[in-house]
Amino acid sequence: MYFVGVDLAWGERRPTGLAVLDDAGRLVHVSAATSDDDIVAALGPYVDDDCLVAIDAPLIVNNASGNRPAEAQLNADFARFDAGAHPSNTGKPEFREQPRGARIAARLGLDMNPRSGRARRAIEVYPHPATVALFRLGRTLKYKNKPGRDLAQLRAELMVLLDLLESRVTADPPLVVESPGEERPGSWQALRSAVESAQRKSELRVVEDQVDAVVCAYVALFATRSPERTTTYGDFETGYIVTPTLPADLTPTPRPRRATAITDPDAAVREYARKQPQRARATDQFVQLVTAILDDAGINYLTVTGRAKSVSSFATKAARAVDGRRVFLDPLQDITDQIGIRVITYVHSDVQAVVDLLSDQVIVHDDRDMGRETADEGRFGYASRHLLVSLDPARETPDAYDLLPDRQAQVQIRTVLQHAWAEFEHDIRYKGTIPSEHVPEFDRRFTLAAGLLELADREFSAIRDRLREGMTGTQLEPMDDDPRISPRELAAFLAGQYADAGWSRIEHYAWISTLVLELGIASLVELATCLRSVDEETLAARMEYRYPPGAVRRLDDALLWAYGDTYVDLGGNAHRHQALRERLAKMRGA
């Protein structure tokens, strides 16, 4: 029997760690994979017969918002050890349909019921609480890359985990990770050497995924051999997490006070004011970043704006108290909306498109669908999507965003109608004076307005969808003698060419029409002939779109596919040569 560990990445662009233990607890395989196909192929030899595959990713998610019951139960035990689970719900795009973990389990033909007792099963696990319970840790090891942790700290913490795993060789059940012989690719010794020699955080990340997979595999072995020392939080119906049982006598170690912590509200306000100019510049950089991400993907939006929280607003929030107790004990760290970015879209479906795109390009620490929360309460009212984001530390940071590492921003995404309601409601409630006898009437009228605007949002979406269906793209000749393709004609043509793509911004159609002209294409007939040479299926597969690209982005990629370096070198592309060359290499399978 094999015990398999899968530290599953959220998307197929990041590495997934894989590890396999045999029946004696010996590590017989460790590697990294990216796509679902790669994962299935690598694990195939080990899951044909009896096996237990432990996957670090949600397998069953049915709740619309908040935590699953399993996460709430686990957090009650492990959160004080810094080993709490992040919330999983269908409001998040990765869980809206079949979670990736469940998809992998289905492709491998595994039963996901933790109580079934079948010979070939998959279970959901979580390495952090497992290490706390197995190694009696007062707090989790800090080998995950987060703001404020440097390379030396990450390496030292990961080395501790390696040592602890090696120490399980005499445990019950045993874990044998080292094997005699020379260091070879895919061996435990190779992982240890990679940690010792890593010069960048991204190099540690690849090793970290594989080490986590070893932890997952050992949890599968542990749960099989020591069920009496194993706890299953949750159930098969609502989702579950399997982990070694928390020792009853284990207590968390005291949390070290941050050297930068400023707990006095007045001192925090003074420090906030001192750094306000730099924070304002960082806000501008976040606006540029979000705008560039949306423009590159061809997403349709109205505006992207930003603001650094004012000193007075920060002071008010820092002093906030409930029942005499301050809400923010360390205001500079705990107040997370110091930088606010707002994206206004035209229709509601574009809100989700922006969320999906940002989730692929930056780290999303928190995702709240305020409209869904309001609806779950059975009422109409404030509707907006709130993300807490930061740069992905595994990616290189361009010089233009030099102030953004180790900073977070709150990104609010809403439609223009939702924005209008929120701004008016805020203006009336917080800047006006409503006599107490009129409050119920105002509440009713605001609720009525919110319901009407939700209906209007739906109608606008229906109008756009119907209009897109009507744009067949059959009109292939311009309406006058102008040899250029007008933006309006191009938009209609692309709606037919890429019927499944979203609309792009009006100015983007004008921008790409100039590139089309630079290529010497002066009519829609010529453009249609050019696009027939593009292998759209292969192009989409190689680009691995993790978001719904707009029509202009689809055309941009098609022209890059068809013309290659000639397209890159166009004068109109001078500002993005490097980005296009990287995209072209990906298209060519490099």
CA-to-CA distance for 340 and 409, rounded, in angstroms? 6
Q: How far is CA 80 from CA 251, 260, 304, 521, in A?
A: 9, 22, 38, 64
Digit-coded pLDDT (tens) for 357-367? 888 788 888 88
Percent of residues, the chain, with pLDDT higher than 90:
45
Q: Which of 313, 330, 335, 336 lies closest to 262 in space, CA to CA?
A: 330
Widest CA span in the chain? 85
CA atoms of 125 and 141, how far apart (whole Å): 17
User: What SS3 string covers 475-543?
Assistant: CCCCCCCCCCCCHHHHHHHHHHHCCCCECCCHHHHHHHHHHHHHCCCCCHHHHHHHHCCCCHHHHHHHH
For residue 446, the model assigns a pLDDT of: 66
Cβ count within 10 A of residue 327: 13
What beta strand segments (E) does 116-261 contain? 120-124, 230-235, 239-244
Q: How far apart are CA 220 and CA 218, in angstroms?
A: 5
More confident residue, 418 or 188: 188
Confidence of residue 57 (pLDDT cuts 50, 70, 90): very high
At 29 the three-state DSSP class reads: strand
**Measured at the alpha carbon of residue 103, what is the angle toward residues 544 and 145, in degrees to the nearest 5?**
65
Please name the helix (run of DSSP H) or strand (run of DSSP E) that holds residue 265, with its range, or none: helix 265-274
Higher pLDDT, 466 or 252: 252
Q: Structure tokens of 302?
A: 């109205």
pLDDT at residue 504 in the model: 80
CB 356 within 8 A of CB 310: no
DSSP for residue 307: E
| Spatial distance between the Cα atoms of 141 and 331, rounded to a whole number of angstroms | 25
pLDDT 10s digits, 493-546: 888 888 777 778 878 888 898 899 889 888 888 898 999 999 988 998 888 776
Give the phi and the psi of residue 3 in degrees, each rounded to 5.
-115, 115
Residue carrying the six token digits 């119907």:
466
Residue 43 near residue 53 (C-beta atoms within 8 A): yes
Q: Is 93 helix (H, G, I), strand (E, B) or coil?
A: helix
Measured CA to CA in angstroms, residue 272 lies from 261, 316, 340, 376, 409 at distances of 12, 13, 15, 37, 15
Question: pTM above the 0.75 mark?
Answer: no
Structure confidence at residue 109 (pLDDT): 96
Both tokens of residue 10? Answer: 């959220």
Collapse the DSSP code of 545 into the 3-class scheme (helix H, G, I; strand E, B; otherwise coil) and give the result: coil
Q: Are the C-beta atoms of 27 and 191 separated by less than 8 Å?
A: no
* Max avg pLDDT among 104-108, 204-208, 359-363: 104-108
Report how far residue 27's alpha carbon sits from residue 214's, in angstroms, rounded to the nearest whole number.
8
Tokens of 299: 């997403």
DSSP string, 445-470: HHHHHHHHHHHHHHHHHHHHHHHHHH
Strand segments, DSSP code E, in 211-362 are 230-235, 239-244, 303-308, 321-322, 325-326, 339-345
Tokens of 507: 């100015």
* 363-369 vs 385-390, strand pairing mode: antiparallel
Per-residue pLDDT band for 355 (boundaries 50, 70, 90) equals: confident
The mean per-residue pLDDT over the stretch 108-125 comes to 95
pLDDT (tens digit, 9 = 90+) per residue, 458-473? Answer: 766 666 666 555 544 4
Judge whether residue 477 has pLDDT over 50: no
Give 383's pLDDT tier (boundaries 50, 70, 90).
low
Measured CA to CA, the distance from residue 300 to residue 385 in angstroms comes to 17
Helices (H), 319-347: 331-334
Beta strand 51-55 with 120-124 is parallel
State residue 475's pLDDT score. Answer: 43
Contact between 472 and 496 (Cβ < 8 Å):
yes
Q: What is the pLDDT of residue 479?
A: 44
Q: Give the per-residue pLDDT at 463.
A: 63
